[in-house]
Chain A
């Protein structure tokens, strides 16, 4: 017994180091599994509060730019409203006419795009009836999916995250695949598992698919920049240039699918 205590006392620095290092590794591994990073995320009162405070100051610097983005969106929506075409024929997605989805506006208070796994923090939380697995879009396209909420803040798993998988399809042919990111450029994401029968041209529009309960069908994502067959030769890998400028996000919309629970209860959940 004496020897054990002596051993601990002699190596206490190393033991403390080993303990803390193991703890950090544990936290890292845990944060790598989706929906499990409960302990450390920026949607807590401390970091959320600090980010909110600084965002209160810094948001004035790009007010003009954000205003232009909003005016642009307004123009687009007005042109739909006053045009004689039917809604289905229009260029724009059919978002406002889908009654199954509820929209909540929020402000991005922390954005990151240079890391390998990027997250955003927004200033709305459970208090504003936001919950895990709600989609987040901006006026130009998809931003990400909520993966953690606290009372006043929520964390968004950005599309620029190597763990992110979003169901997406070609706008003209409905061939679908999943959208992921290779961690390289914040402007380009990859769409994988598109069957090779699909006819793809550079510049084709990619939109969200209706297969997931998170996003409504038809939200714009980006346009095809280049495409290649994968190793097996059966599927295409597409490089998709995002419509969204992920480095400059101000106002976003959080989407709640009101029927999500009902749809999920019908589908087997073992993905």
Chain B
């Protein structure tokens, strides 16, 4: 138990540092940045303690906001996906989630991609809506969230593949 807590704390710190020091400065084609820090939320173990999970997601988003001067937009997006995660898990994994036998790190690739895509799309849409904060720029919001989502998805899949090989 202690080692898993240590794992999550170090994952939290490493993902935040990766995000604010490297990924925020990629600016592919001028404005596309991956937001791979939500991997912490995606890979958080499935347990019954939803309150702790929501709180941790808030802290994660808040930390990113602190570094990138963005008010509370990351926090809002993170809390939302943390709250919606059980429903999305049930939708994508079905029975294995309900029987509490699911481990995201070892799940099949098909449902895993669906699960990542849904969460990333929700997160990015909320993020950019709050960032732009102007409904007349809905096209800009859609463009930004779509392209960044693709980038984030690729990044998340690469990271999970890279780091899951060690544990097998």
Q: Which range holds the interface residue count of chain B?
A: 35 or more
Bound CA–CA A114/B23 (angstroms): 12
Which residues between 8 and 54 of chain B lie within 8 Å of chain A, taking CB atoms? 17, 20-21, 24-25, 27, 30-33, 50-51, 54
Of all chain B residues, which has the CB nearest A26?
Answer: B72
- In the bound complex, what is the Cα–Cα distance between A24 and B33 (angstroms)? 22
Docked Cα-Cα span, A183 to B134, in Å, equals 12
Contact yes or no, B83 A24, CB < 8 A: no
Task: Decide if the interface of chain B is mainly helix, strand, loop or mixed.
Answer: helix
Q: Which of B123-141 contact A (CB under 8 A)?
A: 130-133, 137, 140
In residues 16-60 of chain A, which contact B (Cβ within 8 Å)? 16-17, 20-21, 23-32, 37, 40-42, 44, 46-47, 50-51, 54
For window 135-172 of chain A, which residues contact chain B by CB distance below 8 Å?
A: 155
Residues on B with beta carbons closer than 8 Å to the beta carbon of A81? none
Select which of A29, A114, A155, A183 is within 8 A of B140 by beta carbon: A183
Q: Is the CB of B79 within 8 A of A47?
A: no
Report whether A24 and B76 are in contact in the complex, using a CB–CB cutoff of 8 Å: yes
Kindly identify which residue among B31, B51, B137 contacts A114, using a CB–CB cutoff of 8 Å.
B31
Contacting residue for B71 out of A16, A30, A47, A185, CB 8 A: A30
Query: Are A31 and B66 within 8 A (Cβ)?
Result: no
**Which single member of A14, A16, A42 contacts B55 (CB below 8 Å)?**
A16
Q: A20-B54, A44-B66, A54-B21 are in contact. Are A117 and B75 (CB under 8 A)?
A: no
Pair B58/A116 contact, Cβ less than 8 Å: no
Q: Is A24 in contact with B131, judged by CB distance below 8 angstroms?
A: no
From A13, A27, A54, A117, B72 is in contact (CB under 8 Å) with A27
Report chain B residues within 8 Å CB of A20: 54-55, 58, 75, 79
How distant is B67 from chain A, measured CB to nearest CB, in Å? Answer: 5
Select from chain A the residue with minimum beta-carbon distance to B31.
Answer: A114
Q: Which of B21, B67, B71 contacts A31 (CB 8 A)?
A: B71
* A contact residues vs B (CB 8 Å cutoff): 12-14, 16-17, 20-21, 23-32, 37, 40-42, 44, 46-47, 50-51, 54, 112-117, 119, 121, 155, 183, 185-186, 247
25 A-B contacts (beta carbon < 8 Å): A12-B51, A13-B51, A17-B54, A17-B80, A20-B54, A20-B55, A20-B58, A23-B58, A25-B72, A28-B72, A28-B73, A40-B62, A40-B69, A40-B71, A42-B67, A44-B66, A47-B20, A50-B20, A112-B69, A113-B27, A114-B27, A114-B32, A114-B33, A115-B68, A247-B27
Which B residues form the contact surface with A (CB < 8 A)? 17, 20-21, 24-25, 27, 30-33, 50-51, 54-55, 58, 61-62, 65-73, 75-76, 79-80, 82-83, 130-133, 137, 140
Top 8 A-B pairs, shortest CB-CB distance: A31-B71, A27-B72, A24-B76, A24-B72, A24-B75, A28-B71, A119-B69, A17-B83
